[in-house]
Amino acid sequence: MTITKDKAGAFAFLVLALAYGLNIGDIPMLPGDEDEPFNAKTMPTFLAWLMGSVSFIMLVTRSRNESGSDPVVGAFTGLEWGKTSQLLGLMVFYGMTITFLGFIPSTILFIFGGLWILEERSLKVLLLSSIPLTVIFWYILSQLLGIYLTHGELFFMLGGTQ
């Protein structure tokens, strides 16, 4: 069996799933939540199992593009490291701005910037993807699930009230 990009990626995600799954025990829960059918650990557990299962299946099945090239070099050539670095930088920017700008503006900028990095240049697509998606996500999290999402320091600096 040769190591391909698919196998290297599947192995990396399998390691990530195992590390993620091992850390689920550190998630704090409210008293009495242990017996609830859906609690703070339910979704992370599901995601860890799903990611681990799919990664394992990809790892043990035949790759779609097995080649005779050097397995180590072949696994990492042709990848777009520039875009990956830009997306990682955008994630850091999002994490740093969410408390100042608030959830909605920073998430709109994050999705807009991510699509821009992925070479979407249509302003109509950028705006119609980032704004409605953010508003729908905000509505589900804050209004339906009751999760507090920060308004941001800028909101209060401009005279907003809770």
Cα 59 to Cα 62, 68, 134: the distances in Å are: 8, 18, 35
In whole angstroms, give the CA distance from residue 102 to residue 109: 11
Mean pLDDT throughout 141-156?
A: 88
Buried b (16+ CB within 10 A) or exposed e, 60-94: eeebeeeeeeeeeebbeeeeeeeeeebbeebeeeb
Angle between helical axes of 81-101 and 103-117 (0-180°, round to 10): 170
pLDDT-derived band of residue 62, with 50, 70 and 90 as boundaries? Answer: low
Model-level pTM? Answer: 0.58
In whole angstroms, give the CA distance from residue 150 to residue 101: 9
Q: Where are the domains of the chain?
A: 5-76, 81-157
Decide if pLDDT at 1 tops 60. Answer: no
Cα 1 to Cα 7, 68, 74, 131, 145: the distances in Å are: 10, 10, 13, 46, 47
Count CB-CB contacts under 10 A for residue 103. 20
**Separation of CA 77 from chain center:** 24
In whole angstroms, give the CA distance from residue 87 to residue 123: 19
Where does 4-150 have alpha helices with state H? 5-22, 42-60, 71-76, 81-101, 103-117, 123-138
The chain-wide mean pLDDT, for the chain, equals 86
Q: What percent of the chain has pLDDT over 90?
A: 51
